[in-house]
Chains A and B, each alone.
Chain A
């Protein structure tokens, strides 16, 4: 579903061109004389703290980019630059081709009211409003009539599965339920772009898994353009179309999950990928051989299937399988030797 690339459009919805966010007084001067990434030592010498260091990337329509990094890596700062909750020190950001940084506050408010939604780590619900009022809040702020807002908010309540609790106050809900409210609120204005800042980090592991499933289900039907920030590499692998790994404000690698696992670009990225069970990330496509009719077996397997999900049936079949492309009328594209699966599962 998420790996189904056909829904991802080609025009970039978000486009960043060498975005810098530097905290400190000498930041602007330092940047004026520099091009490309500036080393951490140079910043420290100037008494600055790095937020984002020369970030350039694009996010296409309907795509989910997960920004992964440990605390202090600048991932939340990058997100806040793109939602313009903080102003970047330099660089360009385009939303649907319009320059975000040139917008005045009125245009910015207009943009946020119609195009953007954001979910926060600590939920950030208004304590004095009920679930329903919290969800209706962006609509009422936007100037919609109250009854219309409430109707719309009620739909959202149902969408996130909180029906029956719409008159509760945030303090009466569990963490998972509160974040459902946060998600519903961010979706109420039907935004095109959806920002999620570590939305599940404050939840305990079981609830987190449940919320991730719920999130995937939502995205499956909504097809938003998403920028998702997390410090959890497993979560990134599970959700992402593409992952950007950040360290000290620099994007170390930006690629699809399987490419990151197979070809980590730097030592830092490698540290994350080392312990990742490959079968959970890799698709059949990455271990298949070239199609050869004489070797092909009767059983088939989709080239986009994650190895772990089909491993059992492959190992049972003992003979070679035919790999097919489910998007192109099940046309055979390769063959798969079960021994390769064993290698992935147990080999080094």
Chain B
């Protein structure tokens, strides 16, 4: 029998599951027993983290600073001075960009002093008329791709303005326009450094892994402690959150360059700098710009969430609307976020895919035609706006800046629609909701909570051993051990149960939908662009429609997580199935397989390694959404992270819990990736 088990992996898993069940049912529920729960030996970690932050901010490295108001020296900690000065400079740039769109006195007064702007009331940055911004967006779209993108960008911004969301939208945009370039520069430099030095890359890799799997919230709490609350804190959280993909794509892009291109640069006599800036970076241009696209999307997603630490913009209004259950309003703002996301995504992708133009023989006018157009239109728009101020004498100049909530609105209609849905379908929705909660989710949750710690470890480490040998077993084991030794094991189990449910449903539906769509060229293309579309907008947005349908329950979160997490499962399924070589299909057909047989016997086994990578993404996406679901009330780790935002000493807890979530992701990631790589090697793919 043991010989049998040694040979077949399926039997190994069955055997593992069998032992798991035995342990599950026979380990007694005894709080003192280490088989049931491990002691919270690591419960002090949040405390240590808090003390560290506290000392850094208030005790260590004090230097005397001259206080001009009190005419005396005051002791301040060096760290606090540094964080404050970072905050101030960040704030300056954000406000500067914001005032270009919305106008204001603050930039001038922060340079020249408060008194100046009071004396000279004309000394301020006037806002660009919204019409000029719309035309500007269209011109950028035209330059990057053509008339199609110009129309999309123009209409997108037009909508935002006409529907009275101009102010918050421009606030959000100004945050993105500040954070994205900072992330770009930071990510590019770190990426280059990682590419040049093996040691740096080895150090960066685990940090990037953790950073990319930490929930958005966990960044917020320590940031609040270090930098306070406001736009600057939001931006700093955003920068930390959005830089990792840039680093990763930079390293990836640089590594992809063919060694011959590097050699050709060397043989042309490049020194190190010439090689870097004239050969490597331009050759990796596309990957680097895809990184910029990622950065922009992450920045947008994070700036909406940064509303929780006081960043102004669409996210803030969305939060207010959701808190007061104004679903129509929230949906309207949500649509604005989606539109901005789509426009920014399309623009940055077009930039990445754009091939360099050849300019040598063109004159000044032809080279700068579009910039000249933009300046021309801005002047025209300003003149129009000036005359319009006579036409709209009392109150608002609609051709200059449509104030918040003074534009068109569809929220009454949306609200009526929501009411109608509730009135018509309440019974069905509620029945479904209750059924799911009492018959599926509830029992499942109990089953997870009844799981002894020993059997959880056995399952994970055993799977690790079967898949990747002793190495994977130990990695997975130590990642989970870290959580098991904290006070939050039960909460983690709840998170795990929600994730298991969401991932199973997402994976099954994703694979089914993906398999069906991949049968046909047109359907494949459509579903892939649909996936693109769904992946563009911030995860926050997914919560709006589910609250609309199911109210504030676990079901809502679950459904949002399922929808959100189905996207990668579907995408990877389509990609995997489409990449099966057509010659194998022909070979199958000539052996007389039916469509179903072909899918089961040829397509699926070959595509499975790629599909599993999709499932890997699904796990991460589902966990992110579940944690985010804490916004509308769940009781897992996410809820605690949320809660730590409002607690005075929450920084440590929030951060530690974030790391737990990240560790769950990494454990799953290790298992799936090891399996997939081995499988790919076995099948001779890549």
Partners in one complex: yes
Taking a contact as CB atoms under 8 Å apart, the answer to whether A124 and B270 are in contact is no
User: Which residues in chain A, 118-139, are within 8 Å of chain B measured between CB atoms?
Assistant: 118, 120-130, 137-138
Which A residue sits closest to B269, measured CB to CB? A113
**Count: A-B pairs, CB below 8 Å:** 71
Taking a contact as CB atoms under 8 Å apart, the answer to whether A85 and B258 are in contact is no
Of A109, A120, A189, which one neighbours B263 at CB under 8 angstroms? A120
CB distance from A136 to the nearest CB of B (A): 10
List of A residues within 8 angstroms of B263 by Cβ? 80, 85, 118, 120, 124
User: Which residues in chain B, 257-286, are within 8 Å of chain A measured between CB atoms?
Assistant: 258, 260-261, 263-264, 266-271, 274, 278-279, 282-283, 285
**Known: A141-B274, A167-B358, A167-B360. Contact between A126 and B267, CB under 8 A?**
no
**Known: A126-B283, A128-B285. Contact between A118 and B267, CB under 8 A?**
yes
Taking a contact as CB atoms under 8 Å apart, the answer to whether A138 and B269 are in contact is yes
Q: Choose among A114, A128, A138 the residue with the greatest number of B CB atoms under 10 Å from its CB.
A: A128
List of A residues within 8 angstroms of B264 by Cβ? 118, 120, 124-126, 182, 185
Query: How distant is the Cα of A189 from the Cα of B270 in the complex, in angstroms?
Result: 13
Taking a contact as CB atoms under 8 Å apart, the answer to whether A130 and B358 are in contact is yes
Of B268, B355, B358, which one neighbours A137 at CB under 8 angstroms? B268
Q: Does A112 contact B (CB under 8 A)?
A: yes
Which B residue sits closest to A171, measured CB to CB? B355
Q: Does A208 contact B (CB under 8 A)?
A: no
Q: Does A142 contact B (CB under 8 A)?
A: yes
A 195-208 binary contact with B (CB < 8 Å = 1; else 0): 10000000000000
Which A residue sits closest to B274, measured CB to CB? A141
Query: How distant is the Cα of A182 from the Cα of B274 in the complex, in angstroms?
Result: 19
Of A109, A123, A125, A127, which one neighbours B269 at CB under 8 angstroms? A109
Q: Does B356 contact A (CB under 8 A)?
A: yes
CB distance from B17 to the nearest CB of A (A): 41
Q: Choose among B263, B264, B270, B358 the residue with the greatest number of A CB atoms under 10 Å from its CB.
A: B264
Taking a contact as CB atoms under 8 Å apart, the answer to whether A126 and B260 are in contact is no
List of A residues within 8 angstroms of B270 by Cβ? 109, 141
Query: How distant is the Cα of A111 from the Cα of B279 in the complex, in angstroms?
Result: 19
Taking a contact as CB atoms under 8 Å apart, the answer to whether B283 and A142 are in contact is no
Of B261, B266, B269, B358, which one neighbours A85 at CB under 8 angstroms? B266
Query: How distant is the Cα of A129 from the Cα of B264 in the complex, in angstroms?
Result: 14
Q: Does A169 contact B (CB under 8 A)?
A: yes
Taking a contact as CB atoms under 8 Å apart, the answer to whether B285 and A85 are in contact is no
Taking a contact as CB atoms under 8 Å apart, the answer to whether A141 and B283 are in contact is no
List of B residues within 8 angstroms of A117 by Cβ? 267
B 271-306 binary contact with A (CB < 8 Å = 1; else 0): 100100011001101000000000000000000000
Instruction: Give the contact-size bracket for chain A.
Output: 35 or more
Q: Does A83 contact B (CB under 8 A)?
A: yes
User: Which residues in chain A, 65-101, are within 8 Å of chain B measured between CB atoms?
Assistant: 80, 83, 85
Taking a contact as CB atoms under 8 Å apart, the answer to whether A169 and B271 are in contact is no
Name B's interface SS: helix
Taking a contact as CB atoms under 8 Å apart, the answer to whether B282 and A128 are in contact is yes
CB distance from B277 to the nearest CB of A (A): 11
User: Which residues in chain A, 168-205, are within 8 Å of chain B measured between CB atoms?
Assistant: 169, 171, 182, 185-186, 189, 195
List of B residues within 8 angstroms of A138 by Cβ? 268-269
Instruction: Give the contact-size bracket for chain B.
Output: 20 to 34
CB distance from A128 to the nearest CB of B (A): 4
**Known: A118-B264, A167-B358. Contact between A126 and B269, CB under 8 A?**
no
**Known: A120-B260, A167-B360. Contact between A85 and B267, CB under 8 A?**
yes
List of B residues within 8 angstroms of A123 by Cβ? 260
Q: Does A116 contact B (CB under 8 A)?
A: yes
Taking a contact as CB atoms under 8 Å apart, the answer to whether B260 and A122 are in contact is yes
List of A residues within 8 angstroms of B279 by Cβ? 126
**Known: A112-B268, A113-B269, A142-B269. Contact between A124 and B358, CB under 8 A?**
no
List of A residues within 8 angstroms of B278 by Cβ? 137, 141
B 468-512 binary contact with A (CB < 8 Å = 1; else 0): 000000000000000000000000000000000000000000000
CB distance from A87 to the nearest CB of B (A): 13
CB distance from A181 to the nearest CB of B (A): 11
Which A residue sits closest to B267, measured CB to CB? A118
Taking a contact as CB atoms under 8 Å apart, the answer to whether A141 and B358 are in contact is no
Of B260, B283, B355, B356, which one neighbours A121 at CB under 8 angstroms? B260
Taking a contact as CB atoms under 8 Å apart, the answer to whether A127 and B283 are in contact is yes
Taking a contact as CB atoms under 8 Å apart, the answer to whether A124 and B268 are in contact is no
List of B residues within 8 angstroms of A141 by Cβ? 268-270, 274, 278
Query: How distant is the Cα of A122 from the Cα of B356 in the complex, in angstroms?
Result: 22
B 38-79 binary contact with A (CB < 8 Å = 1; else 0): 000000000000000000000000000000000000000000
List of B residues within 8 angstroms of A186 by Cβ? 267
List of B residues within 8 angstroms of A85 by Cβ? 263, 266-267
List of B residues within 8 angstroms of A128 by Cβ? 282-283, 285, 356
Query: How distant is the Cα of A310 from the Cα of B285 in the complex, in angstroms?
Result: 55
User: Which residues in chain B, 349-366, are within 8 Å of chain A measured between CB atoms?
Assistant: 355-356, 358, 360
Q: Choose among B260, B267, B270, B355 the residue with the greatest number of A CB atoms under 10 Å from its CB.
A: B267
Taking a contact as CB atoms under 8 Å apart, the answer to whether A124 and B261 are in contact is yes
Taking a contact as CB atoms under 8 Å apart, the answer to whether B267 and A169 are in contact is no
B 335-378 binary contact with A (CB < 8 Å = 1; else 0): 00000000000000000000110101000000000000000000
CB distance from A114 to the nearest CB of B (A): 8
User: Which residues in chain A, 235-259, are within 8 Å of chain B measured between CB atoms?
Assistant: none
Which B residue sits closest to A109, measured CB to CB? B269
Which A residue sits closest to B286, measured CB to CB? A127
What 3 pairs between A and B have smallest CB-CB spacing?
A113-B269, A138-B268, A124-B264
Selected A-B contacts with CB under 8 Å, 24 pairs: A85-B267, A112-B269, A114-B269, A116-B267, A118-B263, A118-B264, A120-B264, A123-B260, A124-B260, A124-B263, A124-B264, A126-B283, A127-B283, A128-B283, A128-B285, A128-B356, A130-B358, A138-B269, A141-B269, A141-B274, A141-B278, A142-B269, A167-B358, A195-B267
Taking A80-B263, A128-B282, A141-B270 as known contacts, 17 extra A-B pairs with beta carbons closer than 8 A to each other, sorted by chain A number, are A109-B270, A112-B266, A112-B269, A113-B269, A118-B267, A125-B264, A126-B279, A126-B282, A128-B356, A137-B268, A138-B268, A141-B268, A141-B274, A169-B356, A169-B358, A186-B267, A189-B269
Residues of A within 8 A of B (CB): 80, 83, 85, 105, 109-110, 112-114, 116-118, 120-130, 137-138, 141-142, 167, 169, 171, 182, 185-186, 189, 195
Residues of B within 8 A of A (CB): 258, 260-261, 263-264, 266-271, 274, 278-279, 282-283, 285, 355-356, 358, 360
